[in-house]
Amino acid sequence: MHTTTPAVAVHLQETLGRVFGQFAKMIARRQATDPQAMSRTDYSLLGVLEHCPHDAGIRISKLAAALGHDLSTISRRVSHLERQDLLERAPDPSDGRAYTVCLSPAGRTALHDERIARTGLLGAILVDWPEADLVELDRLLTRLSDDLATDAEAAHRPSPLPTTARTAS
pLDDT for res 96: 79
Residue 74 C-alpha from the chain's centroid: 12
| Collapsed DSSP state (helix, strand, coil) of residue 96 | strand
Out of 1.10.15.40, 1.10.10.10, 3.40.50.720, 1.10.3260.10, the CATH code matching 22-143 is: 1.10.10.10
The predicted-structure confidence for 41-79, as pLDDT tens digits, reads as follows 999 999 999 987 666 789 999 899 888 899 999 999 999
Q: Is the pLDDT of residue 101 over 90?
A: yes
**What is the per-residue DSSP string for 85-120?**
TSEEEEEETTEEEEEEEEE-HHHHHHHHHHHHHHHH
Are the C-beta atoms of 111 and 46 separated by less than 8 Å?
Answer: yes
pLDDT for res 25: 94
Q: How far apart are CA 61 and CA 41, in angstroms?
A: 15
Confidence band for 85, pLDDT divided at 50, 70 and 90:
very high
* pTM exceeds 0.85, yes or no: no
Are the C-beta atoms of 87 and 100 separated by less than 8 Å?
Answer: no
For the chain, the domains span 22-143
Type of residue found at 36: Q
